[in-house]
Amino acid sequence: MSIEPTVEDRLIALLRKTLGTETALSPATNLVGDLGLESIQVIEYLCEVEDHFDLAIDEGTLADVQTISDLAIVIRKLQRS
């Protein structure tokens, strides 16, 4: 029986693919604090996330997003709306 990957799993996979990072990642990983991503890298990653989930993410909704888990909450909210 296959288990559907969670939003967090997919966000982590996208992050590895987009940034080519080998760093250990978890839902608690802080995108800026832990990974030290530059703002342009965060933008590139979010573009990939939007395309993967086929969503439009307004930057204003990301003001409180620090971790992959925070981002997953935003994704699920947009998927429901």
Answer yes or no: are the C-beta atoms of 37 and 50 closer than 8 Å.
Answer: no
Kindly give the residue spans of alpha helices, DSSP state H, lying in the chain: 7-19, 39-53, 68-80
Give me the 36-55 binding string for another protein, x by CB under 8 A, dash otherwise: -xxxxx-xx-xx--xx--xx
Give me the 56-75 binding string for another protein, x by CB under 8 A, dash otherwise: xxxxx---------------
Neighbour tally for 34: CB within 10 Å? 16
- The minimum distance between CB 54 and another protein, in angstroms, equals 7
Q: Which stretch binds another protein (CB under 8 A): 1-9, 20-28, 35-43, 66-74?
A: 35-43
Nearest to 31 by CA among 65, 56, 61: 65
Q: Which stretches of the chain bind another protein, using CB under 8 A?
A: 37-41, 43-44, 46-47, 50-51, 54-60
